[in-house]
């Protein structure tokens, strides 16, 4: 906040005519960014600090305001449900980030191969990420329906024939997807992979930025397509990869809407994620203090992984130009 003082100084100390062009410009500068400054203080910095403070209270935000010290912050580490939620969220993120980044990169590279009708294919792959949200979760819930859903009505006959072919004693059966403890989280992940188009579009933009001269030079030097891919495409795309990985880490650790609609955290808390759990703790049980402490724990976890990605990036991201 002290950063704002120079603006105030410039305003009060220099009345009327004595404004130098520099001062005028600085004043206008702060005038132009003032909406952001207000928004930052009121809707970002203020709430962040306040939620840290709330973490030290037992509160329903109405009558109860009782200081409890570090109780909630300690509870975050010992509460079985929070640990479960942390684990589930980490499970989701650690599978989702590499898988969706790889998938998006793969599609982008394929579509970048001077393919006919590129913009058509691009639209087909991108469209699912435009409609992300409640409608998609409801759709997938139905596709995953174990008995009459589309997915199993395709899978089960195939598995049945396969079992016959291998003459297995107990025939293979398709998983019960969101109704099964083991498969519920993979189901959520598969649905999320359907939205890989967003990252794909960013990769396509990155691929377009690679100068074609490099490929021509490589061709003259006798490098085949595979060599070109690993020696030109991937290294020059590493900044884009980092960008997508960071975005993906942040989004994955906050997975919420899909699990709320598809499983409500079940079965048996197999898909209880951190944001869902802190939402329940706050807005269903009215334990807003504990929820705030959980929010901070999750925030720190995200921060650690994002910083880790950025820190280690210097060893694998190639910046040219």
Instruction: Enumerate residues 301-320 that contact another protein by CB under 8 A.
Output: 302, 306, 317, 319
255 in contact with another protein (CB under 8 A)? no
C-alpha distances out from residue 250 to 157, 168, 184, 244, 247, Å: 39, 44, 21, 10, 5
Burial 51-69 (b: 16+ CB within 10 A, else e): beebbbbbbeeeeeeeebe
Strands 57-59, 65-67: pairing kind: antiparallel
DSSP conformational letter for 178: G
Candidates 71, 231, 246, 286: give the one binding another protein (CB under 8 A): 246
For another protein, the binding residue among 82, 93, 188, 291 (CB under 8 A) is 291
174, 275, 280, 305: residue in contact with another protein (rule CB under 8 A): 275
Closest to another protein by CB, 44 or 164? 44
Q: Which of 12, 167, 170, 212 binds another protein (CB under 8 A)?
A: 212
Stretch that binds another protein, among 89-97, 165-173, 174-182, 199-207 (CB under 8 A): 199-207
Nearest to 41 by CA among 299, 33, 169: 33
Site for another protein in 88-127 (CB under 8 A): 107, 110-111, 113-115, 118-119, 121-125, 127
160 binds another protein (CB under 8 A): no
Pair 231, 218: CB distance under 8 Å: yes
Per-residue contact track with another protein, 14 to 53, x per CB under 8 A?
--------x--xxxxxxxxx-xxxxxx-xxx-xxx-xx--
Q: How far apart, in whole angstroms, are the C-alpha atoms of residue 264 and residue 235?
A: 41
Minimum distance of another protein from residue 269's CB (angstroms): 19
Phi/psi of residue 65, nearest 5 degrees: -140, 95
What angle in degrees, to the nearest 10, is found between the helix axes of 234-252 and 197-208?
Answer: 150
**93, 202, 259, 270: which one contacts another protein (CB under 8 A)?**
202
Give me the least distance between CB of 185 and another protein, in Å please. Answer: 19
Taking CB under 8 A as the rule, does residue 85 contact another protein? no
The reply to whether 280 sits near another protein by the rule CB under 8 A is no
CB of residue 169 to another protein, shortest distance in Å: 25
- What are the start-end ranges of the H helices in the chain? 5-13, 21-39, 46-54, 71-78, 80-111, 118-130, 134-143, 150-165, 181-193, 197-208, 212-220, 225-228, 234-252, 257-262, 274-279, 288-316
Residue 284 near another protein by CB under 8 A: no
Nearer to another protein, 167 or 311 (CB): 311
The span from the CA of 275 to the CA of 273, in Å, is 6
Q: Which listed residue (90, 210, 218, 250) binds another protein by CB under 8 A?
A: 250
Asked if 163 touches another protein (CB under 8 A), the answer is: no
């Amino acid at each position: 906040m002290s950063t704002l003082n120079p603006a105030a100084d410039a305003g009060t100390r220099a009345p009327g005519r004595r404004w130098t062009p520099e001062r005028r410009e600085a004043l206008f500068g702060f005038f132009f960014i003032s909406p952001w400054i207000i928004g930052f203080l009121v809707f970002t910095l203020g709430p962040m600090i306040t939620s840290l403070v709330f973490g030290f209270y037992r509160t329903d935000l109405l009558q109860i305001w009782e200081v409890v010290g570090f109780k909630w912050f300690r509870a975050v580490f010992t509460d079985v449900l929070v640990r479960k939620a942390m684990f589930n969220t980490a499970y989701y993120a650690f599978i989702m980030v590499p898988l969706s980044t790889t998938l998006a990169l793969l599609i982008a590279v394929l579509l970048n191969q001077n393919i006919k009708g590129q913009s058509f294919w691009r639209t087909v792959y991108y469209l699912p990420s435009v409609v992300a949200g409640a409608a998609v979760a409801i759709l997938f819930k139905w596709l995953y329906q174990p008995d009459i859903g589309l997915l199993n009505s395709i899978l089960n006959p195939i598995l049945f024939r396969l079992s016959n072919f291998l003459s297995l004693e107990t025939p293979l059966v398709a998983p019960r997807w969101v109704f099964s403890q083991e498969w519920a989280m993979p189901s959520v992940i598969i649905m999320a992979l359907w939205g890989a188009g967003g990252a794909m579009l960013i990769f396509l933009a990155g691929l377009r930025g690679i100068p074609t001269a490099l490929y021509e030079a490589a061709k003259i030097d006798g490098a085949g397509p595979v060599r070109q891919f690993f020696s030109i495409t991937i290294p020059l795309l590493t900044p884009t990869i980092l960008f997508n990985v960071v975005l993906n880490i942040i989004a994955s650790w906050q997975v919420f809407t899909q699990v709320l609609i598809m499983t409500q955290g079940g079965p048996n808390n197999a898909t209880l994620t951190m944001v869902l759990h802190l939402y329940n703790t706050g807005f269903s049980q009215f334990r807003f203090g504990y929820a705030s402490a959980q929010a901070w724990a999750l925030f720190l976890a995200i921060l650690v992984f994002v910083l880790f990605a950025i820190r280690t990036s210097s060893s694998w991201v190639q910046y040219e130009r």
